[in-house]
Amino acid sequence: MKKQAIIALALGVSAFSFAQKKELKSAEKAINKNNFSEATSLLNEVESMLPEMDGKLADKYYYLKGLAIYANGQGNEKVDEIIANFDKVKGAYETEIADTKQNIVNTILTKSNDLYQSAKYVEASKGFKKLYKLVPADTTYLYYAAASAVSGNDYDAAAENYEELIKLGYTGIEKQYSAVNKETGEVEFFPKSQRDLFVRTGSHIKPAETLTKSRRGEIIKNIAFIYLSQDKTEKALAAIQNARKMDPNDANLIVNEANIYYKNGDQKKYKELIEQAIELDPTNIDLIFNLGVVAAENGETEKAKEYYKKVIEMDPTYVNAQTNMAALILSGENALIEEMNGLGTSNADNIRYDQLKEERTQLYRNSIPYLESVLKIQPDNIDVARTLMNIYSAIDDTVKTKEMRALIQSLEKN
């Protein structure tokens, strides 16, 4: 009896295994005939048998499942699913899986490049990210995913990809192979084997190997700028300070760090950093102008004027400096008016009133050259025209007053 039971059980296992093989073989035939829906249906029937399958059959199941999803390229969008099945294959179909993966890579790479060239950056970024998942050893795809996301203003995806690159220790440094073209004298770059062939045939000379510049600094900077754009101040400041360690002479980084301090109300630190940036980039008039703004906000009027004058000397068409200088001069009017209104009717008060009135007139005269410069650069600036009209009227320049009134009327009609 015991022998009969053992024989019966063995027959059952054998029949079960045979059924698995039969279903898998049918699924394989369906795939070979490009009937992927039938193959999927057959594989779904086998799925419940997976716990009892031996290793070889399970390998075949997952391999065929991946192929069915891939569907000769029709299922490229389901990369994660395809790879998840291929990754469950243990020690079999290595060549076949590698070939399929390469086909997927080629297809997605071509499509992603086309999307990027068509300025569809977000879609391109997603494609490059899929490529990275397919070939995780090639971190360049992740870099392309991040860079494309930046171009598409998808800053969340860009930051995520850049942060992952930092964790992976990615530098982007690559070895380049070059040789000088004997005919043109120009340095040309090739894959190593091709370069070596050209050197051997004599068309090129002076073979050389160079390393490309690290992209790590660029990545850290981009992370910082992304966080800045998202108002994630603490993260941005940490990223910028990290980037500055790698490139302490980058004036742009210093300015962005300064802007964070300015935003947080720390004008002292802002000024200190802007001055550092100007030392590195002394011709950057925007930085000098910004120092003028900070000085004016801190009540350092004369210092602010010095900065604005320097900007105007460097670039007489710098409208903001001209405008701010005029506004700064005219701001002195308030104190004069306040004192004039507080005077009495005594002889001494009348003399003081006339002095203050003359000082006020001089303020008007001092502001005129700057306002006229603005109007020359921006002839349709109606606000400046109105200010000039009022000033000309206050100093009894009737000719200029009429001229400004006519200009204002003309601008209002347009």
Provide φ and ψ at 49, rounded to 5°.
-85, -5
Domain end, chosen from 28, 61, 92, is at 92
What CATH code is carried by the domain that includes residue 354? 1.25.40.10
Distance CA 182, CA 201 (A): 11
* Residue 307 is assigned to a structural domain of this protein: yes
Q: Are residues 295 and 206 located together in one domain of the fold?
A: no
- Whether residue 6 is predicted with pLDDT greater than 90 in this model: the reply is no
Number of domains in the chain: 3
* Residue 227 is assigned to a structural domain of this protein: no
| Residue 79 in tokens | 């990369």
Q: Are residues 59 and 184 located together in one domain of the fold?
A: no
Domain end, chosen from 44, 74, 92, is at 92
- 3-class DSSP state of 137: coil
Report yes or no: 125 and 152 within 8 Å, Cβ to Cβ: yes
* Residue 62 is assigned to a structural domain of this protein: yes
> Considering only CA atoms, which of 268, 236, 269, 267 is closest in space to residue 253?
236
pLDDT single digits (tens) 77-132: 787 888 888 888 887 888 888 888 888 888 889 999 999 999 999 999 999 998 99
Mean pLDDT of 160-174: 90
Q: Are residues 330 and 206 located together in one domain of the fold?
A: no
- Whether residue 62 is predicted with pLDDT greater than 80 in this model: the reply is yes
What's 108's DSSP letter? H
- pLDDT of 200: 93
> What is the DSSP code string of 370-403?
HHHHHHHH-TT-HHHHHHHHHHHHHTT-HHHHHH
Mean pLDDT of 47-65: 81
- Whether residue 158 is predicted with pLDDT greater than 60 in this model: the reply is yes
- Whether residue 352 is predicted with pLDDT greater than 60 in this model: the reply is yes
- Whether residue 16 is predicted with pLDDT greater than 80 in this model: the reply is no
Confidence band, pLDDT 50/70/90 cuts, at residue 398: very high
Calculate the CA 73 to chain-centre distance.
Answer: 32
Scored b (16 or more CB within 10 A) or e, 287-322 reads bbbbbbbbbbeeeeeeebbebbeebbeeeeebbebb
Q: 372 vs 209, 268, 321, 333, 402, CA distance in Å?
A: 60, 34, 13, 19, 15
**Residue 288, amino acid:** I
What does the longest C-alpha to C-alpha distance in the chain come to? 139
* Residue 103 is assigned to a structural domain of this protein: no
Domain end, chosen from 92, 107, 133, is at 92
Mean pLDDT of the chain: 87
| Residue 75 in tokens | 């299922």
- pLDDT of 13: 40
* Residue 252 is assigned to a structural domain of this protein: no
Q: Are residues 287 and 406 located together in one domain of the fold?
A: yes
Mean pLDDT of 228-248: 83
* Residue 122 is assigned to a structural domain of this protein: no
More confident site: 53 or 333: 333
* Residue 24 is assigned to a structural domain of this protein: yes
* Residue 239 is assigned to a structural domain of this protein: no
Instruction: Look up the domain containing 200 and give its range.
Output: 175-211
**What predicted TM-score, i.e. pTM, was given to this entire model?**
0.57
> Considering only CA atoms, which of 297, 325, 302, 301 is closest in space to residue 313?
325
Q: Are residues 389 and 288 located together in one domain of the fold?
A: yes
Q: Are residues 295 and 396 located together in one domain of the fold?
A: yes
- pLDDT of 3: 41
> Considering only CA atoms, which of 40, 60, 49, 44 is closest in space to residue 17?
49
Q: Are residues 84 and 182 located together in one domain of the fold?
A: no
SS3 content of the chain, % helix, strand, coil (to 5): 75, 5, 20
> Considering only CA atoms, which of 278, 243, 236 is closest in space to residue 260?
236
- pLDDT of 17: 57
